[in-house]
Amino acid sequence: MVNRSRLLMIAVLVAVLSPDARATIPRSLYQAPEAMAMGQAVTSWIDDHQALWYNPAGAAAFDSLEWRMMTLDLGATHDVYASKDAIKKLKKPTVRDVNQFMGKDLYIQGNAATSLILPQIGIAAMYDVRAGVTPTNQVFPRIEFGYVRTGGAQLSFGFSSKDGGLRRRGRRKKEATENEWRFGVGAKYFVRRGESKILTAGELFNLNKENALEAIQGKGSSYGGDLGVQRIQRIDSITTLSWGLSYLNIGDLAFDNKVEAVKSSLNTGVGGQWDLGLPKITVGFDVHHLLRSDDFRKKTHFGAKLRLPILSFYLGLNQMRPTFGASVDVWLVRVSAVSYNEELGELYGANTSRRYLTRVEFKLEF
């Protein structure tokens, strides 16, 4: 069994990096594998349980009872997989040990969530752990590291321009050619522990279990809200076009004690769906973080999904970098595996990280 010290050193070598320190697009609070495989281009059309996290207007389409009993996600960068043997050998990192990781993005994340879907209402709770490290500069070594745990709950409510009240069960089946506006509002409360830290050369030489833990013991809580809208334009029984706008984490989820905040994001997108019977095709184009002045390529997202009775396949561009994945849905269990890229540098293309994310989901649908 791996001892506690070994787990700590692995955790120290897996800290979520501060977006402000990296001057990059902030990471979202929740990252669903299927959305990541589609390049996160989901704002205009998403209408399943993941709408709680991406656009609360999608809750207006909830017309059944679903319980996502447990959703388990595990993700890591390509550099973690490529360096796993070296990481396993670490006991007390020295400058020589760190040198072999120079320029690598060592990052892991884990997430456990559960959600209950009712007509027009969604409730979810999740616990998320993200950790990683990026050592830089062999001459004057510096490590950016941290360890962040986030737990809390999310509530979303949506309503449609044509419902005239609560959505009736099974109504979606009668809407093949009806157009609608969907509106949604969300509320959330989260507690976050841990923070990011930049180690100087002196601190690096004196790194041990005690001061590593001391550096990441911040704790804070915050509450916030989301707003969303979707326009669903049904051209015929096969073709549906959509537009969406979401404002997530309004005003930022600002935690106390120097804990990293979850930044707000204003997103918009357009999409299309074609229901061809057994296969269903969905495409989307999103622009995220409209209020930020970053390179437009870092805010751009494309995606496509081919849905079959059991299998689904995904392709996309996240920040103009390729994404892809697949999922298998068999009764009570759904398994997804995806690969995507993220831009980590201030300048586009200066630091790109390839990441992998898997999900196992246990569910009941009524």
Q: Higher model confidence: residue 290 or residue 91?
A: 290
154 CB neighbour count, 10 Å cutoff: 23
DSSP 214: H
Residues 6+ positions from 316 with CB-CB distance below 8 Å: 37, 38, 39, 40, 41, 301, 302, 303, 304, 322, 323, 324, 340
Tell me: pLDDT of 160 over 70. Answer: yes
3-class DSSP state of 176? coil
- Measured between alpha carbons, how far is 79 from 353 in angstroms, rounded to an integer? 8
Range of the domain at 282: 4-365
The listed range with the strongest mean pLDDT (77-91, 131-145, 319-333) is: 319-333
Structure tokens at 282: 């969905």
Q: Higher model confidence: residue 178 or residue 141?
A: 178
Q: What is the pLDDT at residue 216?
A: 63
Tell me: pLDDT of 144 over 90. Answer: no
Give the mean model confidence (pLDDT) for residues 123-145. Answer: 78
| Radius of gyration, alpha carbons of the chain | 21
330 φ, ψ (degrees, to nearest 5): -125, 95
Which of 168-172, 177-181, 204-208, 230-234 is predicted with the least confidence, judged by mean pLDDT?
168-172
Geometric angle at alpha carbon 178, from 64 and 278, rounded to 5°: 65
Give the pLDDT confidence of 18-67 residue by residue, as tens digits. 333 334 577 788 999 999 999 999 999 999 999 999 999 999 999 999 99
Count how many domains the chain has.
1
Q: Which amino acid is at 277?
A: G
Q: The domain spanning residue 30 has which CATH number?
A: 2.40.160
The alpha carbon of 353 is separated from its chain's Cα centroid by a whole number of angstroms, namely 15
| Averaged pLDDT of the chain | 84
Tell me: pLDDT of 299 over 80. Answer: yes
User: What torsion do the CA atoms of 88, 213, 189, 227 make, to the nearest 10 degrees?
Assistant: -60
3-class DSSP state of 130? strand
Q: What is the pLDDT at residue 205?
A: 58
The closest alpha carbon to 362, from 71, 41, 47, 48, belongs to: 71
Geometric angle at alpha carbon 132, from 256 and 192, rounded to 5°: 20
Q: What is the pLDDT at residue 162?
A: 80
- Cα–Cα distances (Å) from 267 to 2, 48, 188, in that order, read 43, 18, 18
Give the mean model confidence (pLDDT) for residues 98-125. Answer: 89
Q: What is the pLDDT at residue 212?
A: 58
Alpha helices (H) along the chain: 4-12, 19-22, 33-37, 51-54, 78-82, 84-88, 95-99, 201-205, 209-214
Residues 6+ positions from 331 with CB-CB distance below 8 Å: none
Which of 68-77, 129-138, 309-318, 329-338 is predicted with the least confidence, judged by mean pLDDT?
129-138
Structure tokens at 320: 């103009």
Give the pLDDT confidence of 35-44 residue by residue, as tens digits. 999 999 999 9
Give the mean model confidence (pLDDT) for residues 139-156. Answer: 81
361 burial (CB, 10 Å; 0-12 / 13-18 / 19+) is buried
- Cα–Cα distances (Å) from 166 to 46, 155, 178, 298, in that order, read 20, 17, 17, 39
Q: What is the pLDDT at residue 225?
A: 97
